[in-house]
Amino acid sequence: MNSLSITPQLEDHPALLVRKDALAYGSALYARRAYRPGEVIARFDDASDAAQSYLTVQVGPERHVLLDMLGNLNHSCRPNVAIDADARTVTACRAILPGDMLSFFYPSTEWDMARPFACQCGEPECVGYIAGARYLSTDTLSRYKVSPHIIGMIGAALAGQRMDS
């Protein structure tokens, strides 16, 4: 399998490139080669547990990890990669060409974000304000590959609403 493993030397990895200040809002991660839909781009088995921040990714109801180089993945409402928190992978969800910026849909892993923001992706399907999955409709979330912990949290939230009614 042709995927990268998270190590301290990722900045030198032949398949991915971090460009600092490439955009008005900071750094971004770019593909150095093409990826097919479904192809694993990276694994983060060794990611370190960390307190929730804008630099972490949620991998369970109460667990966040720091993703080193992959922490440079930006948000898009039309992402080209998906994070599978259980398998600990980043996978292409559509064709990616060399030079493409890699992005994922932040609410697919985040229930309640540490630093919400007004989305600037410019995509027709833009949801506007990115604050976490708990603030989006199930209809909106159904358009994305959502992590299992988010699905469980949606179920718990819906069950709680029914019980309070």
145-159 per-position pLDDT tens digit: 999 999 999 999 888
Residue 103 is inside which H or E element, if any? strand 103-104
For 135, the enclosing helix (H) or strand (E) is none
pLDDT tens-digit readout, 118-145: 998 899 999 999 999 999 999 999 999 9
CB atoms within 10 A of CB 121: 18
6 band by pLDDT with thresholds 50, 70 and 90:
very low
Q: What is the pTM of this model?
A: 0.84
Residue 50 pLDDT exceeds 80: yes
Distance CA 2, CA 68 (A): 19
Q: What is the pLDDT of residues 65-124, one digit of tens each?
A: 998 777 888 899 999 999 999 999 999 999 999 999 999 999 999 999 999 999 988 999
